[in-house]
Amino acid sequence: MTVQPALAVENIAAQKTLAGDAPRKSGRSRFAMERVNWSGTIVLALCAITVLIPLYVTISMAFKTQSQAVDGNAFSLPAPFSVEGFVTAWNLTDFPVAFTISVLITAGTVTGTIVLAAWASFAISRNWDRKLFRYSFYYLLAAMFLPFPVVALPQIQLTGLAGLANPVGVTILHIMFQLSFSILLFTAFLRSIPAELEESARIDGASTWQTFWRLIFPLLAPMSATVGIFAFLASWNDFMMPSLIISDPALQTLPVVQSIFQTQFSNNYNVSFASYLMAMAPAIIVYLFTQRWVMEGVTQGAVKG
């Protein structure tokens, strides 16, 4: 039995369709329809360059010898690589002490901010129909527009009278100034959590305290990570508050020690840049490993709210 030519052509076309020719064609059409936003790409590339070039100069200068650092060519690669700048900066700035103090202040700030902001946000979101809680939320939001330099002098006087002119006082102030923005994030996220979950927990006999710690707080993990990252970056990089509050120079944080070191050894470029790199390395590492949580937490709080 012979196959008609028309039927043979149809069979070949069907085989090509099953083999994936049709999806490839539709894929090309979809690709052709998608246009690259060149203006936005160029702007983002320029913004990236403004960050990458100073970072490159910092890293290259940190690994140069003192003679290479003052040769006037900041963009040249170290030849040979040297770590003498790091050793000198480690010893001259008493890096371990300043680093430990910064770590303790930052850890206390992150922990206190997450716990206090979660407590306050839970109370506000679940009692929104009451004027006291609603007005308290507005009051806390208004504090976001109050920068520290405006209230610097009263804070210095109060911490001195209370005996908190030390890292503990800086930690408390860091927490207080981070609460407004953190409560805003937590409150938006809590509104996305169904109230039926709490009602079922209360039916099972759970108290408000148990409901929060066993049910609500674990659900706040994405937003807690976001709040913690923001608090970490703000506390670790803060210069003004520790320099004004802490009275003992031996208990200063890393950014303040870096500033003092820069004024005393401004001509030792390799040592200065090595010191800068050691100070900002923890913040860069933490942000690189946790940046996705920032976007996920903010997006979930904004979309589900």
pLDDT digits (tens, 9 = 90+) for 266-291: 667 788 888 888 888 888 888 787 77
Q: Alpha helix (H) ranges present in the chain?
A: 5-19, 21-33, 38-62, 66-69, 84-92, 95-126, 131-142, 152-161, 167-190, 195-203, 208-211, 217-219, 221-236, 240-245, 254-264, 269-304
Distance of alpha carbon 300 from alpha carbon 267, whole angstroms: 49
pLDDT of residue 304: 46
pLDDT of residue 1: 46
What is the dihedral sign for C-alpha 226, 228, 231, 236? negative
pLDDT of residue 9: 46
Flag residues of the chain having pLDDT under 50. 1-3, 5-9, 12, 17-18, 21-23, 25, 29, 31-32, 301-305
Distance of alpha carbon 249 from alpha carbon 260, whole angstroms: 10
Distance of alpha carbon 178 from alpha carbon 286, whole angstroms: 18
pLDDT of residue 92: 79
Phi, psi of 207 (to 5 degrees): -80, 175
Residue type at position 124:
I
Model confidence, pTM: 0.77
pLDDT of residue 241: 92
